[in-house]
């Protein structure tokens, strides 16, 4: 993916900002700038941009639990600010941004200000390459001085507490904001995939989903058949009998949605409504829960196969049983076990933790 060319603008320098990327800050810095410029803001405080960097990464770190690498400042800042302010991971972005930006907590301000040591001026190094023998401190000073007069058509001017977008770049950024954001997210996904090689669906974990799917169809067109056939379904976690008309159950992702990022029927089962709230995104215990999970899934599969073998939900099992007509336990376990192991390695807790 390439940036659109623009006469009299050094677009190649903007693109080269992402050469040799070793951390996520470049992506989140530019995404934060684009958010402001889209809202016609061209003089922007660094504090506001640092806040947006944290909030833009919030759900990726806290909800989806992706690793950014041990040395990544943004990942570290997100976790520290979450713990200091005791913030929940499901806050609306606007609320989260307001809390962090306006916090009176000096510790949090110090965490955000730490980005100022390197982020704003290092992003401009394509416009101001390091000279032979030049020290880092002298390079930083030179970038501040040169950018303030928009030398080399720098993207922005750097000052102690703010940046000012170069007027030559404003229209270009506004006109191409979506494409540039797509570029950032695509390359951020590639970057994070290299650090989370076994985690599924990285691109969809870079922003929080606006809403979770209600699972109404899965309930009415698949699991309802099981309830009507048997009269009830037994919760694999509480052993309680669940009845269709009592509304005392919820469809739950056996492996948390925050990890698998899908609603495929082979990962969904009815469980006790109150237990579902307590379970949250914790992982089941294979030794304790898998056999019951498998038995319930196999039973539901056989009932639905007899009713409508060509339904889209039956087809979803082809992702794990592409050549099978039955429901082999070993293949099902070989799908579930690695996902749970990887999820736990990425920070998802087990039910007993």
Q: Is the pLDDT reported for residue 218 higher than 70?
A: yes
Q: What pLDDT shows up at residue 49? A: 98
Average pLDDT in the 103-112 region?
96
- The helix/strand/coil state of 109 is helix
pLDDT class for 80, splitting at 50, 70, 90? very high
> Is 254 in contact with 284 (CB distance < 8 Å)?
yes
pLDDT class for 95, splitting at 50, 70, 90? very high
Q: Is the pLDDT reported for residue 240 higher than 80?
A: yes
Average pLDDT in the 338-342 region?
95
Q: Is the pLDDT reported for residue 227 higher than 90?
A: yes
Q: What pLDDT shows up at residue 352? A: 84
Q: Is the pLDDT reported for residue 22 higher than 90?
A: no
Higher-confidence position of 210 and 340: 340
Instruction: Compute the C-alpha angle 20/21/27, nearest 5°.
Output: 140
Report the candidate in 280, 279, 297 with the shortest Cα–Cα distance to residue 333: 297
Of the listed ranges 1-5, 248-252, 263-267, 296-300, the one predicted with least confidence: 1-5
DSSP at 334: H
Query: Average model confidence (pLDDT) for the chain?
Result: 94
Give per-residue burial for 141-179: e unless 16+ CB within 10 Å, then b: ebbbebbeebeeebbbbbeeebbebbeebeebbeebbee
Q: What pLDDT shows up at residue 109? A: 96
Q: What pLDDT shows up at residue 211? A: 66
The full 3-state SS of 294-316, as one line of letters, equals: HHHHHHHHHHHHHHCCCCHHHHH
Average pLDDT in the 266-286 region?
94
Q: Name 234's bridge partners.
A: 241
Q: Is the pLDDT reported for residue 168 higher than 70?
A: yes
> Is 313 in contact with 225 (CB distance < 8 Å)?
no
What pTM was estimated for this model as a whole? Answer: 0.87
Q: What percent of the chain has pLDDT over 90?
A: 85
pLDDT class for 247, splitting at 50, 70, 90? confident
Q: What pLDDT shows up at residue 246? A: 87
Average pLDDT in the 74-86 region?
95
Q: What pLDDT shows up at residue 188? A: 95
Query: For 171-186, what is each residue's pLDDT tens digit?
Result: 999 999 999 999 999 9
Distances (CA, A) of 20 to 17, 30, 108, 126, 196: 9, 16, 29, 12, 18
Q: Name 157's bridge partners.
A: 164
Q: What pLDDT shows up at residue 353? A: 67
Contacts 24+ apart (CB under 8 A), 178-183: 179/1, 179/3, 179/4, 180/3, 180/30, 180/34, 181/31, 181/34, 182/1, 183/1, 183/3
User: Can you say whether the dihedral through the CA atoms of 83, 88, 90, 95 is positive or negative?
Assistant: negative
Q: What pLDDT shows up at residue 151? A: 97
Query: For 284-305, what is each residue's pLDDT tens digit?
Result: 999 999 999 999 999 999 999 9
- Where do the domains of the chain lie? 11-201, 216-345
Q: What pLDDT shows up at residue 1? A: 64
Q: Under the phi-then-psi rule, with left for phi > 0, alpha for psi from -120 to 50, and beta for the rest, what region is 96? A: alpha
Q: What pLDDT shows up at residue 322? A: 85
Q: What percent of the chain has pLDDT over 70?
A: 99
174 phi and psi, to 5 degrees?
A: -65, -45
Cα atoms found within 13 Å of the Cα of residue 48, Cβ hemisphere only = 16
Of the listed ranges 15-19, 49-53, 222-226, 297-301, the one predicted with least confidence: 15-19
């Amino acid at each position: 993916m390439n940036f659109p060319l623009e006469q009299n603008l050094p677009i190649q320098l903007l693109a080269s900002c992402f050469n040799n990327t070793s951390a996520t800050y470049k992506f989140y810095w530019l995404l934060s700038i684009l958010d402001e410029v889209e809202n016609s803001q061209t003089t922007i405080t660094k504090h506001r941009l640092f806040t947006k960097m944290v909030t833009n990464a919030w759900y990726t770190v806290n909800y989806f639990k992706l690793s950014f690498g041990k040395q990544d400042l943004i990942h570290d800042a997100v976790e520290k600010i979450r713990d200091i302010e005791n913030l929940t991971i499901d806050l609306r972005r606007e609320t989260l941004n307001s809390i962090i930006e306006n916090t009176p907590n000096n510790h949090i301000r110090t965490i955000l200000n730490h980005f100022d040591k390197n982020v704003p001026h290092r992003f401009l190094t394509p416009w101001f390459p390091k000279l032979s023998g030049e020290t880092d401190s002298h390079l930083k000073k030179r970038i501040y001085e040169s950018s303030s007069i928009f030398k080399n058509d720098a993207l922005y001017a750097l000052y102690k507490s703010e940046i000012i977008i170069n007027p030559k770049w404003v229209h270009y950024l506004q006109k191409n904001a979506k494409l540039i954001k797509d570029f950032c997210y695509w390359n951020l996904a590639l970057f994070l995939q290299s650090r989370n090689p076994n985690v599924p669906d990285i691109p969809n974990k870079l922003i929080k989903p606006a809403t979770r799917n209600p699972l109404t169809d899965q309930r009415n067109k698949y699991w309802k058949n099981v309830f009507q056939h048997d009269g009830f379904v037994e919760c694999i976690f509480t052993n309680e009998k669940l009845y269709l008309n009592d509304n005392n159950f919820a469809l739950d992702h056996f492996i948390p949605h925050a990890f698998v990022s899908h609603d495929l029927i082979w990962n969904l089962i009815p469980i006790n409504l109150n237990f579902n709230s307590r379970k949250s995104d914790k992982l089941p215990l294979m030794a304790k829960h898998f056999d019951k999970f498998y038995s319930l899934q196999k039973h539901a599969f056989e009932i639905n196969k007899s009713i409508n073998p060509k339904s889209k939900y039956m087809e979803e099992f082809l992702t794990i049983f592409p050549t099978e007509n039955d429901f082999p336990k070993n293949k099902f376990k070989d799908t579930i076990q690695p996902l749970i192991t990887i999820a736990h390695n990425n920070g998802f807790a087990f039910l007993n933790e």
